[in-house]
Structure 1
Amino acid sequence: MSTMALSRHSWWPWARRAAMWGFFALIAWLLVRQARTIDWEEVLDAIRALPLIFLLAAGALAACSFALYSTYDLLGRYLTRHRLGTGTVMGVTFISYAFNLNLGSLVGGVAFRYRLYSRLGLANDTITRVLGFSMLTNWLGYLVVAGTAFCFWPMTLPPNWKIDGEGLRILGAVLLMAALAYLMLCATAQGRTWRVRGHAFKVPGLPMALLQLAMSCTNWSLMGGVIWFLLQGQVGYAQVLAVLLVAAVAGVITHVPAGLGVLEAVFVALLAHEVPQAKLLGALLAYRGLYYLLPLVVATLGYLVTEARARRLRVPARPGR
């Protein structure tokens, strides 16, 4: 390897890391600057004023959403034929999802799955297939729910945004076509194996794809229902769901852990003309408490229990099929 190549390899990781932390610092500065313009006493009053019945309804939907998401890895268990129990698989998925929401997908959704599943005896190729199928299930539902919302219930976007209502309809149609393409692939190429970066993924059948679709669409709809209840129905459900879907992608693009500030910024930009800012932020902070922080506490305890169980079992790794 040339001296120039060696030099590049020595400074490039540091430059990339510095750019990443610089980006996070910029986001933090913008959040602090924006936070100074908010009357936090009004926001706290809005949280205290939330009726108990709406909090309970939102909490019930959040619990249903987590329970449903926790079954995603069971689909991967069916495809890979590994022998971990249903409760164990759901527990690992729940823990990974809670940490994913709060710490980002690489730490939560990926690292925790590899850590816990490997401790419980699964081989890396099996874990990769389970993880990949779970992520596919999640985003397949997103394509359909977002595509439907953008096509049939397009929201009014701020004038300084790069896309208008018509552009949103086109985007929705593209998302629906992508989901349809996946269903057609499963209908016509069932059992075919595709290799992605050295990992083999077998195309599931159409019944499995439809099950993925039903589970994920329901889960995204439940998430929208949580915020809708916390907003006490002041905004139509379809509009709340559409804004949540925009915020979800914005959080993925920015790579900010927990979408901190991104979720709030998108909702304020799109709904502040319909809901007072203090009430809107109060509902979103309650949403973070119910859907992010409370599950994180439970997941932390679950992680400690799972680690202790794995140490006791000392299960040897099984080769993936």
Structure 2
Amino acid sequence: MLPWLFLVLVVTLVANQARELDWQEVRKAIRRYDAITLASAAGIAAVSYALYSCYDLLSRRYAGHRLPAGRVLAITFVSYAFNLNLGSLVGGVGFRLRLYSRLGLDQAQISRVLGFSVLTNWLGYLLLAGTVFVSGTVELPQDWKLGSTGLRWLGIALLAVAAAYLGLCAFSRRRSYTWRGHELALPSWPLALAQFALSACNWLAIACVLYVLFRQQLAFGTVVAVLMVSAVAGVVTHVPAGLGVLEAVFIGLLGWKFSRPELVATLVAYRAVYYLAPLTVAAALYAVLEWRARHLRVQ
């Protein structure tokens, strides 16, 4: 019930915020973006998508399949774009199942690819969020109940989980575990390190997109911290694209520093650059992948 209750809370909060917004001011704030700023944000977004697409290249090594790297990158890009906009069941799971199965991978291999990629994504989150929270450099609202000390303890906990995973991969003699009938195999420690590095760089790239769209008016560490909180909130609510959740978190944590129209304008620009523009490319690429897969099957 918790996700549903949280969703109701978020929807109520967003509705209240929307009624109080001066949408004319939001439009004016959006128009103030120049082409260079938007192009810079789009370029960094492209780097982020490229980094994320490499997750499945690591998964290819882990799962042991031999699909060409170009097709793996294309499938991951399409899955990520649809995942962000329509939710993980459609993008992260559905598109991978369809496209990989049409290229000859069985369900066990696809499950290993999917599980390893999801784990890679959140390992980088643990490392980056933990480091930022522990650093004590994050600017917080004065009335935020968790406080700087609580945030540091949360960061320590996140880093401890990340260290435990890396320790298992490096030193555990037992290399596989069974959970609910599924075998979970530990990767080698170099592969685990690659997971951390690749994912952390991707999360930093996402934060850079927001940092550019905020026109460097906000400390980069604060941008990272707020992004980390919004990512978890989006997962908890299961709202496709985190619609409303992202906005609620940013308004709640940064409303003391920026006007609401400025915040909403920034987030609208972010969604256009990081969500909608890549989705149009992914839709076209998906059509090409479907055509190629059908052509290969005919042959």
> Does the pair score TM above 0.5?
yes
Task: Give 1:154's aligned residue.
Answer: 138
Task: Give 1:126's aligned residue.
Answer: 109
- Residue by residue, what CA displacement relative to the aligned partner does 1:46-69 show, whole Å, maximum 9, x if unpaired? 111012222121111100000110
TM-fit CA distance, 1:32: 3.4
Task: Give 1:209's aligned residue.
Answer: 192
- Structure 2 unaligned spans of 5+: none
Is residue 178 of structure 2 the alignment partner of residue 195 of structure 1? Answer: yes
Is residue 30 of structure 2 the alignment partner of residue 38 of structure 1? Answer: no
Distance 1:174 1:300 in 2: 39
TM-fit CA distance, 1:301: 1.2
Local SS of the residue matching 1:273: coil
TM-fit CA distance, 1:200: 2.1
Task: Out of 125-134 and 204-213, give the one that drifted further.
Answer: 204-213
Matched ranges for 1:217-296 at <5 A: 217-296=200-279
TM-fit CA distance, 1:22: 9.2
Given candidates 286, 291, 295, the residue that maps to 1:308 is 291
Task: Give 1:10's aligned residue.
Answer: none
Local SS of the residue matching 2:20: coil
RMSD: 2.2
Task: Give 2:48's aligned residue.
Answer: 65
Given candidates 57, 63, 66, the residue that maps to 1:80 is 63
When Rg is computed on C-alpha atoms for both structures, the one with the higher figure is 1
How many residues were matched structurally? 298
Given candidates 7, 13, 35, the residue that maps to 1:52 is 35
Task: Give 1:108's aligned residue.
Answer: 91
Matched letter for residue 217 of structure 1? A
Matched letter for residue 212 of structure 2? F
Local SS of the residue matching 1:156: coil
Local SS of the residue matching 2:292: helix
Distance 1:114 1:98 in 2: 15
**Contact persistence 2:166–2:192 (CA under 8 A):** yes
**Contact persistence 2:25–2:261 (CA under 8 A):** yes
TM-fit CA distance, 1:215: 0.5
Matched letter for residue 176 of structure 1? L
TM-fit CA distance, 1:164: 1.9
Local SS of the residue matching 1:274: coil
TM-fit CA distance, 1:26: 7.0
TM-fit CA distance, 1:182: 0.7
Distance 2:121 2:253 in 1: 24
Given candidates 168, 172, 186, the residue that maps to 2:169 is 186
Matched letter for residue 155 of structure 1? E
Among all aligned residue pairs of Structure 1 and Structure 2, give the percentage whose two residues are the same amino acid. 53
TM-fit CA distance, 1:292: 0.4
TM-fit CA distance, 1:198: 2.3
Matched letter for residue 260 of structure 1? L
Distance 2:125 2:264 in 1: 24
**Contact persistence 1:190–1:206 (CA under 8 A):** no
Scaled by the length of structure 1, the TM-score of the pair is 0.87
**Contact persistence 1:151–1:173 (CA under 8 A):** yes
Matched letter for residue 90 of structure 2? V
Task: Give 2:156's aligned residue.
Answer: 173
Task: Give 2:124's aligned residue.
Answer: 141
Relative to structure 1, the CA distance from residue 305 to residue 49 in structure 2 (aligned partners, 3 Å threshold; closer, same or farther) is same
Task: Out of 28-37 and 235-244, give the one that drifted further.
Answer: 28-37
Distance 2:181 2:79 in 1: 24
**Contact persistence 2:13–2:248 (CA under 8 A):** no
Distance 1:65 1:31 in 2: 28
**Contact persistence 2:96–2:110 (CA under 8 A):** yes
Relative to structure 1, the CA distance from residue 190 to residue 109 in structure 2 (aligned partners, 3 Å threshold; closer, same or farther) is farther
Relative to structure 1, the CA distance from residue 190 to residue 66 in structure 2 (aligned partners, 3 Å threshold; closer, same or farther) is farther
Scaled by the length of structure 2, the TM-score of the pair is 0.93
